[in-house]
Each structure stands twice: as C-alpha cells, then as structure tokens.
Structure 1
Amino acid sequence: MPTLYLIPTLLADDTAEQTLPPYIRSVIEKTDAYFVENVRSARRFITGLKTSRVIDETTFFELTKDTPPADTRRQIQEMMERKRNVGVLSEAGCPGVADPGSVVVSMAHTLGWRVEPLVGPSSILLALMASGMNGQSFVFHGYLPIERQDRARALRYLEKEAQDRQQTQIFMETPYRNDALFADVLANCQGNTRICVACNLTGPDAFVRTLTVKEWKTQVPDLRKKPTVFLLL
C-alpha cells in the first residue's frame, strides 16, 4: 500500500537546517510524486534540500482551490495503481492546514492509503505558543472578509467570542493586505482586547508581540508583505 506523506515546507528562506528534521530528506528521496500549489516553488524547495532525488524524474500535480476534485481523484488513483508514494507540499508550513492539500488527504483516506504527517514548522502553532494567550481553547478562522464592513462585523464577532469563551481567536491575511487588516483591528476592537502579531516566524527578523489594542495604537508595526498571524483574546 502506498503512503501519502504530508511534508512541511519552510516559513522563511534558508531555514531548512533550523526548522526541518533530517528525516524529511529521506522521505523526499523515496517519494515519486507531489500535489503542490505551485510547481516552480515546490521544485525549488526539493532541489534546495540537496537530496539524491532527480527533480526531472519527479511528477508534480498542481492543486489549488480551483482544481476540479475529479482531476485530483484521477491523479491519486493513478499513483495508487502504480504503487507510488505521494507527497503533499504546502506553499509555506504544514500541508492540509489553511491549505488545499486537505482535499488529497480526504481522498487518500477514502481509498485506503496510509497517511503520514511529518514534523515541521506551523506558523499557526508557533504564533499561539509565543502569544501568551489561551492554548487550551482556540479557533483558527483563516482569512477574514475583504470588504471593510464585513470585516468589521467579523472582528466584533471574534472579540465577543474571545470574551464570552476566553478562547483565542486566530486569523491571517494575504501579506500585502496586512496593514489594512491591522488598521481595522485597531479601529473595531476594544482598547483592553489583547492582540498578538506574529510576523516572519522562524526568519532572522521574526517579530512576535502581544499588546492591548490601546497599546498597539501608539506603536503600529510595518507589516507590508510580511507573512503574519494575528491572535485576539
């Protein structure tokens, strides 16, 4: 029976030695095909690990939120018939978490594959660990609405959930929209609500800070084009 490996990737460039366990390389060497969001970056990641795998003999299937499920099912069934191990690579961090790779994992379970998640960096868990917020009860919401009115309503809802349940609320945004999102957080949340900003995690310029909304208003960070996780409690 073939194995579906869920292979973490880097959160920051040139950090493989610090953030990926050595056995990731051995898994790469015995994995013949990959489901990936972006073929170019996946090839670059695998090549950068300097394994014995010949990149031009490796199969890549593109998997995005727009990929028809029928195509993915056909591809994974083909790999099963050929008894080939398959990997899932996220663009950053752990596949299947805030990532379309969960579709492949669900299909693999249905088809009876062995599924093996591998250890690696998760920006969501690293941010929660460093936030000082409730790590016993938390919710990850992914991306909030883009429209400002809808986002304001969403933020007020998250704040109420945090207050009523003492539950950490976690969310994120496309890096180039971070500053707009953070401005809306400061405009719509109460002054004593705590906000953690976890930016460029595992990178040399990583930044993690938890302050109240009132305190953040006097020291707004520049988050443009920097991968960031936000936490609220």
Structure 2
Amino acid sequence: MAKGSLYLIPVPLAQEAEKASYTLLHADIINHIKEYVVENEKTARKFLKEAGLKRPQQELIIHDYGKHQREKINYHEIFKNAVAGEDIGLMSEAGCPAIADPGSDVVAEAHKRGIRVIPMVGPNSILMSLMASGFNGQHFSFLGYLPIDKSARSKKIKDIEQISQREKSTQIFIETPFRNNQLLAELLKSCKPQTKLCIACNITAGDEYIFTQSISQWKDTKIDLHKKPCIFLLFAG
C-alpha cells in the first residue's frame, strides 16, 4: 500500500491579511485532508474555517506540537495513518511551517518514515523581508535569534557586520517582539554609520512597515517596535 503525504500548509502572517489568495491556493487540499499536526490548535482551526473548510471540524484529527507538547509528542501516533496511506497536513502558528519554526522536526520524522513531503506556496516573513530590503538576495544568512547577553550580542553584531562586509552578504535575524527596541538600540550602538539596516515589521498587516537606510540615518529616526513581529536585515557589503 502506498503511503500518504505530508503537506506543509502556510498560514497568514497577520490576522487582517487578505484570505482570498490562501483559499484559492489551498482549498482543495484543506478539504481533502482530515488530519493535521499544528503548533496552535485555535489558530489552525480558525484558518481552516476562513480558508473554506467544508468538513465539520469535529471530524478533524488534530495533533498538537505546541511549545508545551513537543517533548512528549508521539510520532508513531502522528504518522500512523500516513503510513497507512492517508495524507496529513502540517501548520505553524503563522507563515510557512518548518522555517524558523519547530515544524522542521515533524518534517524530518516524515522523511525517516518514507513519507513524501509537499511544500505549499504561502507567505514567509524572512523571504518577504529580503525581497523588500534591496539587499543581496543571492548570498544571505538567516541567523535566528542573537544572544540575549549584552556583551555577547554586541560581539555577535560586530561579527556579522564584518562577515557581511567581507562576503557582501545579507545577514538576517529576529528577536522576541518585546525586546525589539533593545536590539535596535544595540545595532545603532555597535554598527558602523554607513552599514545599512532594513527593518521589516508586521508584514502583511495593515500597519506593515519595511524600510532600509544607513545606521547613521536610523539614529535620527523615531520608531517603536515594541511587541511587533520584526525581521532585521543587515548589509555592510
């Protein structure tokens, strides 16, 4: 018997983002699949409803791989039906699953079991911010979170600035939203005046903000990033 497939289904980045495109792209798959692995069940069920789910939600099988469930997740149970031939879906809380997202562990387990993995088209804040930055899109690195410790973070910023200048590469990183302003302050303190910084904030939301300028120009710019999802991109090449 042929095994099922694992579909990687993107979720909108912002609550008010246009839903029509997602419905058109994924409605057939969403109404085909009845079993999902999700990071946030409430978010996932809301998205499925808005994306045109016709199946009654009580018929769905939902596996939670959220923050408090990952250490005790039962992959045998998750992939039991897929091994038997049923297709399943994977969704993160927002954006593309498995990109800066713990869903990559689920994908790795699918490969171990010989289950085909099918990525679906959808929004990704990292790539969208790179597209809009004006920086090198052929040579870039995503670094995830920088160190929390101030001295270690300052050293890391100077290191990646040197790498960017030497390799003419774009350096991309993120921070927990409530620490965005502290990270920006450290970037302004540690980087050279001519180094360029792009801040991409609340991508696809009504107050989306994506702007690129030099560190010296950012020092004269008043901006509050507190509790807003942001992507930071550095280019010193």
- Shorter chain as denominator, the TM-score bin is over 0.9
Range 9-18 or range 84-93, more displaced:
9-18
Alignment partners' CA distance in 2, 1:124 and 1:198: 9
Q: What residue in structure 1 maps to residue 140 of structure 2?
A: 138
> 2:33 touches 2:87 (CA, 8 Å); kept in 1?
yes
Deviation at 1:104, TM superposition (A): 1.1
Alignment partners' CA distance in 2, 1:137 and 1:59: 41
Q: What residue in structure 2 maps to residue 10 of structure 1?
A: 12
Give the AA of the match of 2:231.
Answer: V
State the superposition RMSD in angstroms. 1.7
Q: What residue in structure 2 maps to residue 98 of structure 1?
A: 100
Percent sequence identity is 40
> 1:20 touches 1:121 (CA, 8 Å); kept in 2?
no
Aligned structure 1 segments of 4 or more residues deviating by more than 6 angstroms: none
- Specify which of 188, 192, 195 is matched with residue 194 of structure 2: 192
Alignment partners' CA distance in 2, 1:18 and 1:232: 33
Alignment partners' CA distance in 2, 1:18 and 1:48: 9
- Specify which of 182, 185, 189 is matched with residue 183 of structure 1: 185
Alignment partners' CA distance in 2, 1:216 and 1:231: 13
Structure-1-length-normalised TM-score: 0.93
CA deviations on 1:12-62 (whole Å, 9 max, x unpaired) are 113243652613121111112111111121112212223202212111112
Task: After TM superposition, list the pairs within 5 Å mapping 1:1-233 onto structure 2.
Answer: 1-17=3-19, 19-20=21-22, 22-64=24-66, 67-68=69-70, 71-233=73-235
CA deviations on 1:62-119 (whole Å, 9 max, x unpaired) are 2146645673422233222443211111111110100011111111112111211000
Alignment partners' CA distance in 2, 1:179 and 1:166: 26
> 2:4 touches 2:83 (CA, 8 Å); kept in 1?
no
Residues 157 and 64 (structure 1 numbering): CA distance in 2 closer, same or farther, change over 3 Å? farther
Range 159-168 or range 72-81, more displaced:
72-81
CA deviations on 1:132-168 (whole Å, 9 max, x unpaired) are 0000100001111122222111111111110111110
Deviation at 1:224, TM superposition (A): 1.3
Q: Tell me the SS of whatever aligns to 1:97.
A: coil
Deviation at 1:8, TM superposition (A): 0.5
Alignment partners' CA distance in 2, 1:225 and 1:26: 35
> 2:23 touches 2:52 (CA, 8 Å); kept in 1?
no
Deviation at 1:121, TM superposition (A): 0.6
Alignment partners' CA distance in 1, 2:85 and 2:104: 21
> 2:180 touches 2:227 (CA, 8 Å); kept in 1?
yes
Q: Tell me the SS of whatever aligns to 1:77.
A: helix
Alignment partners' CA distance in 1, 2:115 and 2:44: 23
Query: Which ranges in structure 1 are unaligned for 5 or more consecutive residues?
Result: none
Q: Tell me the SS of whatever aligns to 1:130.
A: helix
Alignment partners' CA distance in 2, 1:121 and 1:68: 24
Query: Which ranges in structure 2 are unaligned for 5 or more consecutive residues?
Result: none
Structure-2-length-normalised TM-score: 0.92
Alignment partners' CA distance in 2, 1:203 and 1:17: 12
Q: Tell me the SS of whatever aligns to 2:16.
A: coil
Q: How many residues align?
A: 233
Residues 221 and 19 (structure 1 numbering): CA distance in 2 closer, same or farther, change over 3 Å? farther
> 2:196 touches 2:215 (CA, 8 Å); kept in 1?
yes
